[in-house]
Structure 1
Amino acid sequence: KWVSYIVNPTPGPKEHKMVILNGETGNIHWEIKTTPEQAFSETGRILESIAIELSNDGTYVAFGTSAGGQVTLANVQNKEILWTYPDETYPYTTGFGQVREMRFSDDNQYLFIGAGDGYLIKLRLSDKSIVWKAFIGAWPFVNGMNFSPDKKYIYTGTKAFEMSKIDANTGEIIWQIEPQVFDAEVSRDGKYVASFSGKLYETENGEFLGSGKDRVHILNGEKFTIGVNKEITTYDFGGKEWNVSEKSGIGECAGCQVQWSYLSLDEQYVIVSARDMTDSFPTPGPGIAIYKRVSGTNLSVNEELNNQTKQIELKQNYPNPFSSKTTIDFLLPFDSEVKIEVFTILGQSVALLLNEKRSSGLHSVEFDFSGLASGMYIYRLTTPNLSISKKMNFFK
Structure 2
Amino acid sequence: MHVVLAQSTIMDKLASGCLRHVGGASSSPYAAPLQLQRSVSTLARATGRSQRRGLSVARCVMGAAATTELKGGGGGGGGSFDFQRYLSARAGAVHDALDQALPVGIPERLCESMRYSVLAGGKRVRPVLAVAACELVGGAAAAATPVACAVEMIHTMSLIHDDMPCMDDDGLRRGRPSNHVVFGEFTALLAGDALLSLAFEHMARGCAELGLPAARTLRAVAELGSAAGAGGVAAGQVADKASEGIPVSFAMLEYIHVHKTARLLEASAVSGAIVGGGTDAEIESVRRYARSIGLLFQVVDDVLDTTCTSEQLGKTAGKDVEADKATYPKLLGVDRARAYAAELLAMAEAELEGFDAERAAPLCHLARFIAYRQH
Which structure would you say has the larger Rg? Answer: 1
**TM-score if structure 2 supplies the norm length?**
0.24
**TM-score if structure 1 supplies the norm length?**
0.23
Structure with a larger share of its residues in strand: 1
Structure with a larger share of its residues in helix: 2
Bigger relative contact order, structure 1 or 2 (CA pairs below 8 A, ≥6 apart): 2
